Copies of this chain bind each other. A is one copy, B any other.
Amino acid sequence: MKKYMSSNVIGIIGLGLLGGSIAKALSLHTSYRVVGYARRQSVCDKAIASGAVAVAYTSVVDVVKEADVLVFALPPDINGVVFNEVAPLIKEGALVTDVSSTKHNFVQAVYKYLPSHVRFVSIHPMAGSEKGGFEEAKATLFEGCTWIVIHSEDTPGWSDDGAAELRHWGELFGAHIEEITMAEHDAYMASISHMPHLVAGMVATVAGGDADGEQRLRLAAGGFRDITRVAGGNPSMWREIIMGNAECIDAALASLEVEISHVRHLLAETDSEGMEAYLKRAKKIRDTFASLLGGYNERI
C-alpha cells in the first residue's frame, strides 16, 4: 500500500538492522526511491535483491549526491567520521537525520560541518535487537516501538518541515511518536538503555565469569535469560554507544550503586519489611512501564 507519491530520493547510509529496516519500511509504505550504502558488496546485493532499495552502493558519495533525505545509520562514531567527509556534497535543501542511540559525537560533527542550506533533525527509533545486520532487518521492526524525534529548535539546521517528515515516517511504520530535546535524549538513554546494557553484561560476568561459571549457567533459567539478553549484542557498536555517552552513563551507574548499598543494608539488618517495601516499589514502577507499553509489546 504505497501511501505517498513522491519523486524524492532517500539515501540510507548503513544497511544494518536499523538502516535496513527503514529502507524496507520506506519501500513498502512509500513511493520514494530508496538508495543505500553498505561497506560490503554482498550486503548491497542482498538489499537490492530483497527490494529494500532500488540501488545500493559501496561508496557513500554515490548515495549523498543523489539523496534528498540522508539517513545516517552507521555506528555512532563512524556516522560522525563519514558525515565530515561528505558534508560538502550534500544536496541543497536536503534533510539529514541519524538513528543513533548516542547522539553527542555525531551532532558535534553535524553542528561543525553542516552546510547552511542543509536541514538536520535527529531521530531515534527505539527498536533493536542483540542480533544485528541486514539479515535481521524487516519492514515491521518499528511496529509498536517508540520513535523519538529530537526537537531542538535552537540547533543548526533545525527544520519544522524536516521534523514533520520524520515523524510521519514513524507513523507510517506503526510506531508511537515521542519528542524530546537533545539534552534529554542522552541522559534518558543512559538510564533506560545504556546503563541497563552494561548491567546485563555485569550480571552475566558475575554469574558465569569464574571457574564455576559454566555449571551455574547450566542451571540458569528464563529470568537470567531475559536480564542478560542484550549482553549478546555487538561489542564494537555498544562500545561506541557507551563511550559516546560516558558522562550520563557514569551518573546512572552511580545511582545504581546507591540502590545496591540500600539493598545490602536491608540484607545486613535483616529488614524484611524494608525489603518487601523496596520490591513493591520496584514492581510498581515496572508495572507502570508495562501499562505504558499497552498493546505495543505482546510480551510484557
Contacts and interface: CB of A to CB of B under 8 A. Distances in A.
A260 B222 CA distance: 24
B282 A222 contact: no
Contacts of A300: 225, 229, 232
A193 to B, nearest CB: 6
B256 A260 contact: yes
B188 A279 contact: no
A75 to B, nearest CB: 12
A205 to B, nearest CB: 5
A226 to B, nearest CB: 4
A158 interface: no
Given A205-B285, A229-B300, 9 more contacts: A178-B218, A184-B215, A192-B216, A193-B220, A200-B223, A204-B289, A209-B285, A217-B285, A220-B289
Number of copies: 2
Given A180-B219, A230-B223, A276-B235, A285 B213 contact: yes
A38 interface: no
A263 B254 CA distance: 11
Contacts of A279: 201, 231, 235, 238-239, 242
A284 to B, nearest CB: 9
Interface stretch (A18-26, A29-37, A40-48, A244-252): A244-252
A96 interface: no
13 contacts: A126-B221, A128-B223, A192-B216, A196-B203, A198-B263, A201-B278, A201-B279, A206-B252, A220-B289, A232-B287, A239-B275, A257-B257, A257-B260
A228 interface: yes
Contacts of A195: 203, 206
A282 B249 contact: no
Contacts of A278: 201
A89 interface: no
B193 A146 contact: no
Nearest to A300: B225
A253 interface: yes
A214 interface: yes
A117 interface: no
B223 A193 contact: yes
A130 to B, nearest CB: 8
B229 A223 contact: yes
Contact of A224 (B192, B232, B260, B287): B192
Contacts of A281: 205, 209
